[in-house]
Amino acid sequence: MSEADIRKVVQEELNNIAPEIDIATVDPAADLRETIDIDSMDFLNLVTALHHRTGLEIPEIDYPKLATLSGMVAYLEAKLKSAKTA
Amino acid sequence: MPSLGADMETGTLVEWLVKPGDFVKRGDIVAVVETQKGAIEIEVYQPGQIVQFLVDLHSKVPVGTPLALIRTEGEAKAAAPPPLAAAAAPMPAPPVIPQPAAAVMPPPARPPVPLPAAAGVAARKAASPAARRLAEERGIDLSAIAGSGPGGAITSTDVERHLAAAAPPAEAKRPLGLDLAAMRVAIAAAMARSKRDIPHYYLQHQIDVTPCEHWLAARNATLPPDGRLLIGALALKAVAVAIARFPAFNGFYRDNKFEPSAAVHVGVAIAIRGGGLTAPALHDADKLSLDDLMSGMRDLVQRTRAGRMRSSEMTDPTITVSSLGERGVEALYGIIYPPQVAIVGFGKVVTRPWVVDGAIEPRSVVTITLAGDHRVTDGHAGALFLAEIGKLLQEPEKL
Amino acid sequence: MQQELPGTDPIELTYREAVRAALRDALARDKRVFLMGEDVGRYGGCYAVSHGLLAEFGPERIRDTPLSESGFTGAGIGAAMAGMRPIVELMTVNFSLLALDQILNSAATVRHMSGNQFGVPLVIRMATGAGRQLAAQHSHSLEGWYAHIPGIKVLAPATLEDARGMLWTALQEPDPVLIFENVMLYNISGKLPRDAGAVSIDKAVVRRWGSDVSLITYGGSLWKTLEAATALAAEGIEAEVVDLRSLRPLDDVTIMASVGKTRHAVVVDEGWRSGSLAAEIGMRIIEQAFWSLDAPIGRVCSEEVPIPYPRHLENAALPQAPKIVTAAKAALGRA
């Protein structure tokens, strides 16, 4: 998966959770919980979906790294890279 | 047309999910009805064979109107000419569908032979389990999709491609059936009636949920996201377990008297994105394991936000639990949803100085509140009930 | 076949040397450990795994036995019950059938039959698999039969790291552990950190990440499966390769997570197809991940014949990379 692929997966899954939001307008550096009003259940559903799409473990302890759109993409990219070389 | 809440007068039939000749069993979803609260999936309470539809699609009919005729198993065996008009008498809610004299018929010696289905099987398109599940979740008709899997079977990728091609612009994506303006009218009616009729009393109680947080962190650390629990699941379970010991908060106040409920069906207040609120029931929450309760909550939230609630979930919560989540406030004071007699509120978890064994420590603290119906209980019982919830949350591993 | 592993100061070694290093380490660390089996001492082991250990540890701890699998496996069980930590080597899985009574009726049941008064902390190593032209009485893959037995653990180290690390963990178990070493792995070489040590024995591992199809395998078939995955990648198919590592218990969580993601599964198992471990895995996927599947589950197993002696027939009887490629493509509907 390239960075563009990961970005697309994240956007699709966010869109499933918040269909009325135009993800393209979301500030990639802003806290998602604030900007698009997702709660802990939404967030858990998002993490679950990303887990299924990428196969990556996403432990709770890493949740702070997933707070923003850009953080989420960077996190998944780094994890995928290390998963592939392991 | 079932009554899906005390304030419902009419409903619009928008979809049949069965057809005449189909056999149905108790709990099957047979139709979708549009109400002020959204599109509700209607379950059937009477097993048998669908004989005839009695209401046209998209017609708006009063509560109590028969929607269809079901022949019970005994009658199916008798195989008499269908006694249509005579059986179609209005029935009280909640049974969805008229039951033609089921009680007087002897049970059949063995199940009826199903209708010949050979033609249907031959015409059935191969589709993978994953494709079927996805299509069902998204309400897609598989017959419209071309398959690319082994033997031309439809795969989940084919369904996803179909969904992507058919996706309407973002504005139109709100699920059919979630009419927020109508929902607001319904909320207004129910809440006004509550404030008019129910003498509320309010209590609040602060509890230390640090044990819950520690227990959850340790438990969730080793699990994939599907298996993880939220603190909300612990809160819900604690309420459900506590209420079994305080039955005066669990049930309905109707016709000037309280009817306690043996079952604990906890209404989960769910905020709809863009405004709006509903509280469908998580059935038998006191008997569910934490894992089952959590997956039940996830399912409820997802279906509610997609506008697919079920009739039984709308009508039978015996108490409501509300939480404004981690971005909310420290305490919320709920309004009881009639005919229930109590609502429990959970504020957000905050870090506060707390005295533990004589020393001050930063601890995670949550404020729980109770709105009780003074026609049924007093503050004393309410206080014991809240204290019990707090006690249960000190030992999350036992929930 | 090369394997690169992270870690400082790596050394180059073979799978055989990794097993030997594990044995030497266990013998040095725990006085209760001894090795017992046919030709393990003076001859240095049928596959030269224990070469040099007799000189290093002496005949008390590196014990040659008569050709009596039932007898010396039973002796190992008795020693384990009496407080030792024996490692019994059976020359091949075919010969282990002579000790099956001891393994199934004694080792696996003593804890149960004694009301938890006795346990059998015994490790049994044996060679398994075909590919060395040893014909039908020395070449079978019967580890799936052992994975049927409650009361024991069954391991299949496929990598240098596992060959080096599983033995010590197995010796810490309170109950019997069987370790199956595929004969085609002894000569693979690669790098391991000099300080490589014990590894977990209860988790499957994803050896290659992929999104399109899960190839689930273990032991000697792992490398063929990885080779197939490389070939599939050239055709634009990203296969995920799951190395089971433990055949009993099976790590359902890792299997289902992979299948849940890829929605397609092919099980590669050198055992015969009928009643195989592959059948068990396939059924578990049906039980636990049915609604995630996009295609019938595929299997690549050995042909249902006694493993032939001639090389071309032996190769034809076994799972090979091209067969795995074909099965993966069939699952994806790409004939």
- The CATH number of domain C205-331 is 3.10.180.10: no
With 50 as the cut, is the pLDDT of residue C2 above it?
no
With 80 as the cut, is the pLDDT of residue B311 above it?
no
- Both tokens of C281, joined, read 């895995």
Contacts of A83 in chain C (CB under 8 A): 206, 209
Share of chain C above pLDDT 90, in %: 94
With 80 as the cut, is the pLDDT of residue B325 above it?
no
Instruction: Give dist(CA B190, CA A32) in Å, integer.
Output: 33
Q: How far, CA to CA in Å, does C253 sit from each of B96, B391, C204?
A: 41, 34, 9
Question: What is the number of other CB atoms lying within 10 angstroms of the CB of residue C184?
Answer: 22
Is residue B154 assigned to a domain? no
Cβ distance C261 to A53 less than 8 Å, yes or no, reads yes
How close does chain B come to C147, measured CA to CA in Å? 25
Give me the amino acid identity at B51: V
Residue C78: partners with Cβ closer than 8 Å, 6 or more residues away: none
Q: Quote the pLDDT of residue B65.
A: 85
Q: Omega before B92 cis (within 30°)?
A: no
With 60 as the cut, is the pLDDT of residue B55 above it?
yes
List the beta strands (DSSP E) in B276-397: 277-278, 281-282, 309-310, 319-323, 342-346, 350-356, 359-373
Model pLDDT for residues B216-236, shown as the tens digit of each residue: 999 998 888 888 999 999 999
Is residue B157 assigned to a domain? no
Cβ distance A60 to B221 less than 8 Å, yes or no, reads yes
Question: What is the number of other CB atoms lying within 10 angstroms of the CB of residue C183?
Answer: 20
Q: What is the mean pLDDT of residues A14-34?
A: 82
Nearest to C258 among A53, A55, A84 (CB): A55
Domain termination residue (choose one: B76, B98, B123)? B76
Ordered structural domains, chain A, with CATH:
3-85 (1.10.1200.10)
Domain termination residue (choose one: B41, B76, B111)? B76
- Both tokens of B103, joined, read 């009680």
Query: In the block, which residue shows the tokens 């509120």?
Result: B345
Cβ distance C291 to B155 less than 8 Å, yes or no, reads no
Is residue B72 assigned to a domain? yes
With 60 as the cut, is the pLDDT of residue B98 above it?
no
Instruction: Give dist(CA B343, CA B279) in Å, integer.
Output: 11
Residue C49: partners with Cβ closer than 8 Å, 6 or more residues away: C16, C19, C20, C23, C89, C181, C186
- Both tokens of B20, joined, read 């005449």
Model pLDDT for residues B283-309, shown as the tens digit of each residue: 999 999 999 999 999 888 888 877 777
Terminal-to-terminal C-alpha distance of chain A: 16
Nearest to A44 among B170, B174, B228 (CB): B228
With 50 as the cut, is the pLDDT of residue B95 above it?
no
Contacts of A18 in chain B (CB under 8 A): 273
Nearest to B230 among A18, A40, A59 (CB): A40
Q: How far, CA to CA in Å, does C275 sit from each of B89, B151, C144, C267, C315?
A: 58, 26, 9, 13, 22
Q: Is C248 on the interface with B (CB under 8 A)?
A: no
Task: Label residue B168 by pLDDT band (50, 70, 90).
Answer: low
CATH of the domain at B313: 3.30.559.10
Residue numbers of the domain that contains B54: 10-76
Model pLDDT for residues C262-280, shown as the tens digit of each residue: 999 999 999 999 999 999 9
Tell me how many domains chain B contains.
2
When scoring A11, A14, A38, A44 by the number of chain B Cβ atoms within 10 A, the one with the most, hence best to mutate, is A44
Model pLDDT for residues A36-81, shown as the tens digit of each residue: 878 888 889 889 989 888 888 899 889 989 888 889 999 998 888 8
Buried b (16+ CB within 10 A) or exposed e, C185-223: bbebbbbbeeebebbebeebbbbbbbbbbbbbbbbbbbb
Model pLDDT for residues B113-133, shown as the tens digit of each residue: 444 444 434 446 789 999 998
Q: What is the mean pLDDT of residues C224-246?
A: 97
Task: Label residue C16 by pLDDT band (50, 70, 90).
Answer: very high
If 0-12 CB within 10 Å is exposed, 13-18 middle and 19+ buried, where does residue A59 land?
A: middle
Is residue B376 assigned to a domain? yes
How close does chain A come to B173, measured CA to CA in Å? 6
How close does chain A come to B202, measured CA to CA in Å? 26
Domain termination residue (choose one: B48, B76, B104)? B76
With H, G, I as helix, E, B as strand and everything else as coil, classify residue B76: helix
Rg (C-alpha) for chain C, rounded Å, is 20
Give me the amino acid identity at B257: K
Model pLDDT for residues B29-44, shown as the tens digit of each residue: 888 888 777 778 888 8
Residues B231 and B361 in one domain: yes
With 80 as the cut, is the pLDDT of residue B273 above it?
no
Nearest to B230 among A19, A44, A51 (CB): A44
CATH of the domain at B22: 2.40.50.100
Q: What is the mean pLDDT of residues C103-132?
A: 96
Instruction: Give dist(CA C285, CA C132) in Å, integer.
Output: 33
Closest residue of chain B to C328, computed from CA coordinates: B150
Is residue B61 assigned to a domain? yes
Q: What is the mean pLDDT of chain B?
A: 81
Is residue B294 assigned to a domain? yes
Residue B135: phi and psi, rounded to 5, are -65, -40
Task: Label residue B74 by pLDDT band (50, 70, 90).
Answer: low
Strands across the sheet with B48-53, in order? B23-24, B48-53, B68-71
Interaxial angle between packed helices C321-331 and C221-234, expressed in degrees from 0 to 180 and rounded to the nearest 10: 60
With 50 as the cut, is the pLDDT of residue C67 above it?
yes
Closest residue of chain B to A32, computed from CA coordinates: B327
Model pLDDT for residues C179-222, shown as the tens digit of each residue: 999 999 999 999 998 888 899 999 999 999 999 999 999 999 99
Where do the domains of chain C lie? 12-193, 205-331
Q: Of B396, B22, B356, which Cα lies nearest the Cα of B213?
A: B396
Q: What is the DSSP letter of C103?
A: I
Contact C290, C284 (CB under 8 A): no
Nearest to C261 among A52, A80, A84 (CB): A52
Fold topology of C12-193: Rossmann fold (3.40.50)
Q: Of B326, C179, C255, which Cα lies nearest the Cα of A39?
A: B326
Cβ distance A1 to C211 less than 8 Å, yes or no, reads yes
With H, G, I as helix, E, B as strand and everything else as coil, classify residue B260: strand
Instruction: Give dist(CA C171, CA B155) in Å, integer.
Output: 46
Contacts of A45 in chain B (CB under 8 A): 298, 301-302
Q: Of C44, C95, C94, which Cα lies nearest the Cα of C72?
A: C95
Q: Is C140 a known active-site residue?
A: no
Closest residue of chain B to C286, computed from CA coordinates: B129
Cβ distance C294 to B155 less than 8 Å, yes or no, reads yes
With 60 as the cut, is the pLDDT of residue C244 above it?
yes
Q: Number of A to B CB contacts under 8 A, please give it.
A: 53
Give me the amino acid identity at B374: H
Instruction: Give dist(CA C83, CA B230) in Å, integer.
Output: 46
Rg (C-alpha) for chain A, rounded Å, is 12
Residues B354 and B213 in one domain: yes
Q: Which of the pair, C322 or C4, is modelled with greater confidence?
A: C322
If 0-12 CB within 10 Å is exposed, 13-18 middle and 19+ buried, where does residue A23 land?
A: middle
Is residue B367 assigned to a domain? yes
Contacts of B174 in chain A (CB under 8 A): 19-20
Closest residue of chain B to A51, computed from CA coordinates: B225
The beta-carbon contacts of A65-68 under 8 Å, at least 24 apart in sequence, are: A67/A31, A67/A32, A67/A33, A68/A28, A68/A29, A68/A30, A68/A31, A68/A32
